[in-house]
Structure 1
């Protein structure tokens, strides 16, 4: 491998970081402490931000550590991409803000930090589809392009269409999943790891379960973090809590039923137990009855387990569509389900049931401060439009990004590239690989004795 190939990641990352430094210097400010017209800090904001932050850096990282020969890279590249996306997403949202259009600068606070973490989740979900098939350089470019698309969609969905997607199931989970699947469809089998490398072993599955448990515990905070007012935030926490609980029990039931010997499948336990939190997300602030949240969790886990058991193998066999972490069944299908439920609940509840929180959830309903003219039926149409815009942009953006990034790697057939490919994909130091091999050997000896 030539010197340029060995240094291209460092040079590219340095280029981006210098650009970010310049942009932050020119356009970004903190909120003026003397400006009483803006909410600088809320006592409930930072604890929720901490929960979401832990989900991003620890939960997602360990969830993707199930591959026996990709554990170090899964966690470390997760850290790299999150730190990169935080900066780029803050800048993009700042440039799209009304404040920037009026003053030429924008300010940052805890709410902006929460939104930046949401953007991290988008990229990490896509990373789960392509895990093991891209180099750090490709992942960095992917994060740059995908964050640009996702922030634009976020702006359209919330500031133009005024869709209720309180837990961000559409603009985070569904977008990230279908962006990654579209990119994977371009690469197809050219960039897929060998089956032996894709497998898991006892300790890698245990690490992944740590990620699952962290995500499970903090998922109510994820769905409630950006909700306003406190009444809607409280509903989001309770609804997510119940949907996760019912979904987890349903996952264990179905996991045993779809196995010929009645065993539990670790893939289902690591993934489908979280699907209830995804499916309730879009309407987490709007669901008014506990039984409805429980029903959403049951439906989400049902489609997730069925997806793992039957849909994913068919997609691999027929379309050569390889989804390393089963993202389609955890984020994709439940994300679409969340959009459907948001339409159902927008139609099903009387507006008067929400009291004063109605115009926070649906700001353009008739009679509100925005002088809107929407009713339940019109809002449902906008919910459907938001889902369509999200999915269309995700697929088109994923196809474009995949075409740009994936085939170039697959078409190179030199012996040097083949021998260096695993090293580039692993992105670990020699002593890291040695340590991982030692752990595998210990695992093998443990099974023997």
Structure 2
């Protein structure tokens, strides 16, 4: 039986006509602010040659671009492709998932460059912000926190609400990041700054925006076979690039090397654990695609804070196991409990993938800092890896600073989310009616055949790929997905090949 779909008159009250002027106004404001405040940093400026002579730099290879661009590209792929595809799991909100992810990422990264520049790198000599590769990576990190929050509200808010949420989220993130990284000096990999903050920020907004009649759109809230496969491709993009995410802004040398290894191992352990717990939690032992799409990434989240620390390889595996258990348990038990008893409607389960593993990561960072010793690190290594140059801190003090950073991330997320949630409750934002949540047709031009019948899509893909029209729907879909995935892999290989040629 075909799934019928009716157009609701309430679609006309979503203020869709205001999206274009708001985007234009925002972009014009960004042009003006960038003209006033933003300049290239010395390594991107045309005076680089003079800078080399003044600082005894002998080769262009020492330019930060050659060192950080591969990690930046990995993080960029995670933001725009990983998160975007992961958000396509809803059967009738794939346009909104990947499209609005694109919108708020491009919207947020410009504001993030300004906010982070004002807080972190404002040059007091000329009051300008100097941006380079590290600035771009940090801007992507900032946007990641907002995308996490977006996951809790996916399908329930308007594009204008998303832009307001991103505007406020980036501003809050910059303040919280400055306090945790610059004043407390903890959390290199972002378990607390990005995941814990973004998770509780989004959950609090979702709680404030609670919809008691959301069951009216229950028919649209689930996934389909096709949407789950696309979301799984997003998971794979995130999974393979997460070691770069945790190490991208680390210091040159052993710490960054260690961050990649620890994250790599933790991710691998979380995959096996998730498969095991998912099967055990089902009556007939079958796997849940929701668990595999999300909980398999929890190891990367939990390893963020302690990524550069000498936790030892087996401890990284333990962190991955614990995060996989916690995340899968959250999807099985906590998500339905929170919706029923706490009135928190968490569309993507960000509490299980980001918030709880982020808290675990903060706790791991505090414990490992408390037990750090010169016998493991050496005196100089201890100062750089754990103490961040603070000679007057003991191990216990550094552990306390880690715990304080975790508390600040949680408080910032909840407090900021409460304020922003109240703003978003105002009736002027054009959010969808309860019966039209999780529906692309509210904000996108979508023909009825695209929503109700996959046959036109199958015919189109057969024509494009010039394959035999006798294939079944499943065979055709699988070929399309393989084609998309291999194309993405080819893009990545070509990208790194170009970089290698340029480097050598």
TM-score surpassing 0.5? yes
Q: Counterpart of 1:385?
A: 404
Q: Counterpart of 1:438?
A: 453
Q: Counterpart of 1:31?
A: 41
Alignment pair present for 1:238 and 2:261:
yes
Q: Matched residues in 2 for 1:135 and 1:280: separation?
A: 34
Q: Which runs of 5+ in 1 are unaligned?
A: none
State the secondary structure of the residue aligned to 1:391.
helix
Q: Counterpart of 1:406?
A: 425
Q: Which runs of 5+ in 2 are unaligned?
A: 1-10, 43-47, 459-471, 475-504
Q: Matched residues in 2 for 1:48 and 1:240: separation?
A: 14
**For residues 142-221 of structure 1, what are the structure 2 equivalents within 5 Å?**
142-163=165-186, 165-190=187-212, 192=214, 194-221=217-244
Alignment pair present for 1:373 and 2:388:
no
Alignment pair present for 1:228 and 2:276:
no
The question of whether the paired residues in 2 share the 8 Å contact of 1:74 and 1:131 is answered with yes
Alignment pair present for 1:118 and 2:133:
no
State the secondary structure of the residue aligned to 1:106.
strand
- Of 272, 277, 292, 1:249 maps to 272
The question of whether the paired residues in 1 share the 8 Å contact of 2:211 and 2:434 is answered with no
Task: Return 249-258 or 403-412, whichever deviates more.
Answer: 403-412
Q: Please state how far the C-alpha of 1:429 moved relative to its aligned partner.
A: 1.5
State the secondary structure of the residue aligned to 1:29.
strand
Q: Matched residues in 1 for 2:140 and 2:394: separation?
A: 33
Deviations 1:408-430 (CA, angstroms, capped at 9, x unpaired):
269999xxx78987778842123
State the secondary structure of the residue aligned to 2:88.
coil
State the secondary structure of the residue aligned to 2:156.
coil
Q: Matched residues in 2 for 1:150 and 1:314: separation?
A: 29
Q: Matched residues in 2 for 1:121 and 1:57: separation?
A: 10
- Of 19, 22, 27, 2:29 maps to 19
The question of whether the paired residues in 1 share the 8 Å contact of 2:89 and 2:231 is answered with yes
Q: Please state how far the C-alpha of 1:2 moved relative to its aligned partner.
A: 7.8
Q: Matched residues in 2 for 1:267 and 1:423: separation?
A: 20
The question of whether the paired residues in 2 share the 8 Å contact of 1:243 and 1:297 is answered with yes
Q: Matched residues in 2 for 1:333 and 1:441: separation?
A: 42
Task: Return 238-247 or 349-358, whichever deviates more.
Answer: 349-358
Q: Please state how far the C-alpha of 1:407 moved relative to its aligned partner.
A: 5.0
Deviations 1:321-340 (CA, angstroms, capped at 9, x unpaired):
11101110000100000000
Q: Counterpart of 2:383?
A: 359
Q: Please state how far the C-alpha of 1:361 moved relative to its aligned partner.
A: 2.7
Q: Matched residues in 1 for 2:81 and 2:421: separation?
A: 27
Q: Please state how far the C-alpha of 1:17 moved relative to its aligned partner.
A: 1.0
- Of 351, 368, 384, 1:345 maps to 368
The question of whether the paired residues in 2 share the 8 Å contact of 1:94 and 1:100 is answered with no
Q: Please state how far the C-alpha of 1:45 moved relative to its aligned partner.
A: 0.7
Task: Return 420-429 or 382-391, whichever deviates more.
Answer: 420-429
Structure 1 373/275 Cα, relative in aligned 2: closer, same or farther at 3 Å? same
Deviations 1:116-152 (CA, angstroms, capped at 9, x unpaired):
1101111111111000001111101110001000111
Q: Counterpart of 2:495?
A: none
Alignment pair present for 1:104 and 2:127:
yes
Task: Return 23-32 or 188-197, whichever deviates more.
Answer: 188-197
The question of whether the paired residues in 2 share the 8 Å contact of 1:132 and 1:426 is answered with no
Aligned alpha-carbon RMSD (Å):
2.6
Q: Counterpart of 1:427?
A: 443
State the secondary structure of the residue aligned to 2:282.
coil
Q: Counterpart of 2:413?
A: 394
Deviations 1:376-413 (CA, angstroms, capped at 9, x unpaired):
00001110111111110100100111111135269999
Q: Matched residues in 2 for 1:298 and 1:224: separation?
A: 21
The question of whether the paired residues in 2 share the 8 Å contact of 1:287 and 1:293 is answered with no
The question of whether the paired residues in 2 share the 8 Å contact of 1:135 and 1:424 is answered with no
State the secondary structure of the residue aligned to 1:107.
strand
The question of whether the paired residues in 2 share the 8 Å contact of 1:283 and 1:342 is answered with yes
Q: Matched residues in 2 for 1:254 and 1:419: separation?
A: 34
Q: Counterpart of 1:60?
A: 83
Q: Please state how far the C-alpha of 1:100 moved relative to its aligned partner.
A: 2.9
Q: Please state how far the C-alpha of 1:3 moved relative to its aligned partner.
A: 10
Structure 1 375/143 Cα, relative in aligned 2: closer, same or farther at 3 Å? same
Q: Counterpart of 1:303?
A: 326
**For residues 276-295 of structure 1, what are the structure 2 equivalents within 5 Å?**
276-295=299-318
Task: Return 286-295 or 329-338, whichever deviates more.
Answer: 286-295
